[in-house]
Structure 1
Amino acid sequence: MSNTSMGVSLIGVPTDVGAGVRGARMGPEALRVAGLALALQQSGLDVRDCGNIRGPANPWQEPVDGYRHLPEVAQWNELVHKVVHFELQSGRLPIMLGGDHCLGIGSISAVARHCRETGKKLRVLWLDAHADFNTAALTPSGNIHGMPVACLCGHGPRELVEIGGHVPAISPREIVQIGIRSVDAGEKRFVHEMGIEVFDMRFIDEMGIRHTMEMALDGLDANTHLHVSLDVDFLDPVIAPGVGTTVRGGPNYREAQLCMEMIADTGLLASLDIVELNPALDVRNQTAELAVDLVESLFGKSTLMRQVTDAT
């Protein structure tokens, strides 16, 4: 699919119901203010802003049976699932503007459902400082934005695990995690048990971002639906302060750009989440502007000037 024919749909999901800090509900508007739609249009894309999904308010309550705001989280994710699936069925590329990362349950379950319906293989790149593989038994906070990968892999409350009607929504083999650097001990064991491929920051430090991305993208073909779930805390907080759960030591600007450019080079990007942007913690919207910059690279804007010649 060439850029000129590609339809892209922006879907705002203004909630921080799964997070431990309020403010991510303002993320969609910050991305719009930072010029996301115009940047994509200038890349030759047909951009439709679907506006914001309307869902329940954040009650800001304590956990119940290990989960905070489970009814509200379930409702938001059902709504996300429905809208993302509709856009995929319509032949468009959905970009979910979060909101916190619990929304990945609805988004990715919709992508997985679409792949089952169309016979496509799925590859999810989970770009994040956190593995998000907690369960109620593993996390004291009960914040569901720390649980979406576990839920997608079938481990979590029925209300979340069954979204999309297929349990588990995805296989652990279909997801690759990149940039991880903050994992609870029990969560680490669980990730290893499930066999998820993780390229943590130690691996990136030792092997470099190019080799990391070559491995993460290995095995893709024309029948692969590539989904990127970008948690803005994937980035080093020096360049991206506007997140609720900063963890030092993430990818720098050039590493992040190369990551996006190598994804773009595959030509297979078919859906995207941008989550955990918290304008209340940002500095003059710089994190939103950086996110827009990176999304431009995801859709093919490249700094490459040097002519690449065939070595043969």
Structure 2
Amino acid sequence: MDTPHAPTPITAELIGAPTDIGAGARGASMGPEALRVAGLQPALESHGLRVLDVGNLSGPGNPWLPPLNGYRHLPEVVAWNAAVCDAVYAALGRGHLPILLGGDHCLGVGSIAAVARHCREQGRPLRVLWLDAHADFNTSALTPSGNVHGMPVACLCGLGPAELVGIGGHTPALRPDQVRQIGIRSVDEGEKRLVHEHGLEVFDMRFIDEEGMRRTMARALEGMPANTHLHVSFDVDFLDPEIAPGVGTTVPGGPTYREAQLCMEMIADSGRLGSLDIVELNPALDVRNKTAELAVDLVESLFGKSTLMRAGR
């Protein structure tokens, strides 16, 4: 009788992108190292994953200049996103689960464009969960700051400079109906109109307050075919700043620790997680790395850590 083989463990590939090129405050460039110091690799290994840390990507420094034609640091933003896109696409081609360690959230353009390209080539459906305090659906015409970390979802949906929206080789990289936004509580007025015009599905904090995190996540995850690739883009400012102060754009009234744990556990229960961004962690604004440690704790829940004591888990 043949001896059954143990399943091949998932290989998670950690890709550091140490830049704050798209942000309005300096410090997110230190995020990748803070996550490593907080024990991300051993935490993932404790849940049966093989972990390959490929180190940090390189790219241009932050010139800290004012906006030019509506964008701050656009050439540098494009360079970083191109590097991220190439690295994430290569990781997926190796059969790995890429985990992007940001860096600010402008990097979501390159990361998700790579995932979308991979899914198109594999004929797989894609769903993106955007965990964030902000909709990030701004354009240069709507935001006076020009900070591109407020624009990645718009860019992915084809609204933005050609150099960014074409990363990944397909414009747009995403359709709005492939995205579910969760935890939103800070949206500019013009941005809000644009979100409604494009039919983006947003589960804001009022929805979570009224319906609870369980129903929110059930709605966000419903209707996915079995072969769906689920990408989670986790902006640490998704969390309430009382528990996660180490971010550049704090917005009060975010999910509590238990709500965030339930969110992550339900994503894990779906069995479809295929790629992950962890972005906007700013150690310069943190307290003894507590936000990085919390982020690692929540990422563990994405990969199977659970407080559930009922039989059958």
Under a length normalisation based on structure 2, what TM-score does the superposition of the two structures give?
0.97
Aligned partner of 2:25 in structure 1 is 21
Please, which of 143, 153, 159 is the counterpart of residue 155 of structure 1?
159
Separation in 1, partners of 2:144, 2:45: 44
Q: Per-residue deviation at 1:132?
A: 0.2
In structure 2, the residue matched to 1:95 is 99
Q: 1:31 is matched with which residue? A: 35
Matched AA of 1:36: L
Contact 1:3 1:45 in 2 (8 A): no
Q: How does 1:1-312 map to 2 (within 5 A)?
A: 5-307=9-311
2: CA distance, partners of 1:158 / 1:64: 15
Find the aligned partners of 2:288 and 2:179 in 1 and give their Cα distance.
34
Structure 2 runs not aligned, ≥5 long: 1-5
SS in 2 for 1:5: coil
Deviation at residue 259 of structure 1 after TM alignment: 0.2
Amino acid at match of 1:206: E
Shift of 1:165: 1.1
Tell me the C-alpha RMSD between the 2 structures: 1.1
AA in 1 matched with 2:132: D
3-state SS in 1 of match to 2:232 = strand
Aligned to 2:277, what secondary structure does the other structure show? Answer: strand
How far apart are the structure 2 equivalents of 1:206 and 1:30? 35
CA distance in 2, matches of 1:153, 1:256: 27
Following the alignment from structure 2 to structure 1, what is the Cα–Cα distance between the partners of residues 168 and 48? 32
Query: What amino acid is the match of 1:25?
Result: S
CA distance in 2, matches of 1:121, 1:238: 36
Q: 1:237 is paired with a residue of what secondary structure?
A: coil
The aligned length equals 308
SS of 2:167 mapped into structure 1: coil
Equivalent position amino acid for 1:108 in 2: I
After superposition, the C-alpha distances for 1:55-83 in whole angstroms (9 at most, x for unaligned) are 00000000000000000000000000000
Alpha-carbon distance in 1 for matches of 2:27, 2:118: 31
Counterpart residue type for residue 94 of structure 1: P
User: Identity rate of aligned residues, in percent?
Assistant: 74
Could you tell me the TM-score, scaled by structure 1's length? 0.97
Instruction: Give the C-alpha shift of residue 307 in structure 1.
Output: 2.1
Give the Å deviation of 1:222. 1.6
